[in-house]
Amino acid sequence: MSMKKKAAADAAAGTSKTKTSAARIRLQKDMGDLGSLPKTMQMSFPDPNDMFNFVLTITPDDGFYKGGVFTFSFKVKEGYPHEAPKVLCTQKIYHPNIDLEGNVCLNILREDWKPVLNINSVMIGLQYIFLEPNPDDPLNKEAAQVLSTNRKLFEQNVNKSMKGGCIGSVTYDCVSA
């Protein structure tokens, strides 16, 4: 459409005034307030000029998942903080609350998101499900069932899966540090 062309032309000519969107101001505040991170979390930015897309790495220092390195992609949209950030686990892991496509069942990412929450709340929420996987809200039903019936076997399965092993018919990604 000609409208798009016009917008592109305006941008090229530098006529569009530089403005910082409300979403970006809010995200800048969230990020600045993070400061240094706890040693169990790391962030990386494929493009350091783009704060809206980044990767979070969680290395739990306790619980079933100790010794694993887990990565999540964050996509923040202009609708932030009205809309929650979109978060996906980028590895295939054995976890009751994460499915094989990387969808995460964390209430504050969907039904309980509120604009007062921020990036840090989501990071803490993700860390929490590694310390306390929740068998009552399963996304990986098999894993949830094992967790609620046989914690010893669950622990073994987690360890095996983190080394890139097979549970049932599924081969998991190796996520050991």
Partner 1 sequence: MQVDGVVNDWPNRWRHPDVYMDRGGPFAPESFIGGDELKEFIHSEDCKILVVGAGGLGCELLKNLALMGFKSIDVIDMDTIDVSNLNRQFLFRYKDVGKSKAEVAAEFIMKRVPGCVVTPYFGKIQDKDEEYYSQFAIIICGLDSVEARRWMNATVLSMYDEDDPSTLKPIVDGGTEGFKGQSRVIIPKSTACYECSLDMQTKPVTFPICTIANTPRMPEHCIQYASILLWPKEYPTTKIDGDDPDHINWLFNEASKRAEEYGIRGVTRTLTMGVVKNIIPAIASTNAIVAAATANEAFKLATSCAATVNNYMMYVGDEGLYTYTFPLEKKADCPVCGTESVKLAIPATWKLHELMESLLERQGTQMKKPSLACGDRSLYMQGPPPLEAATRPNLEKLVSELVKEGDTVVVTDSGLPISLKLVIHFE
Q: What does the block give as tokens for 156?
A: 């073994």
In the complex, the smallest distance separating the C-beta of residue 36 from partner 1, rounded to whole angstroms, is: 6
CA separation for the pair 100, 93 (Å, rounded): 7
Centre a 10 Å sphere on the Cβ of residue 34 and count the other Cβ atoms it contains.
Answer: 14
CB of 89 to partner 1, least distance (A): 13
In which residue are the tokens 């803490």 written? 124
- Please identify, using beta-carbon distances, which residue of 7 and 166 lies nearer to partner 1: 7
Cross-strand pairs, 89: 72
Smallest distance from the beta carbon of 119 to partner 1, in angstroms?
A: 9
Smallest gap from Cβ 17 to partner 1, in A, equals 7
Q: Is-catalytic flag, 105?
A: yes
Q: Which is nearer to partner 1, 48 or 168 (CB)?
A: 48
- The residue annotated as part of the active site, out of 89, 105, 166, 174, is 105
Residue number with CB closer to partner 1 (15 or 169):
15
Q: Which is nearer to partner 1, 30 or 60 (CB)?
A: 30
Residues in contact with partner 1 by CB under 8 A are: 3, 6-7, 15-22, 24-26, 28-29, 31-37, 43-45, 48-49, 51, 78-79, 81-83, 97, 99, 101, 103-105, 107, 109-111, 113-116, 137-139, 141
Q: Which two tokens stand for residue 57?
A: 């790495």
Neighbours of 22 (CB within 10 A): 12
Angle at 172 between CA 75 and CA 63, to 5 degrees: 80
Angstrom distances, CA of residue 50 to CA of 53, 54, 77, 133, 152: 6, 8, 12, 32, 43
Which residues carry out catalysis?
105
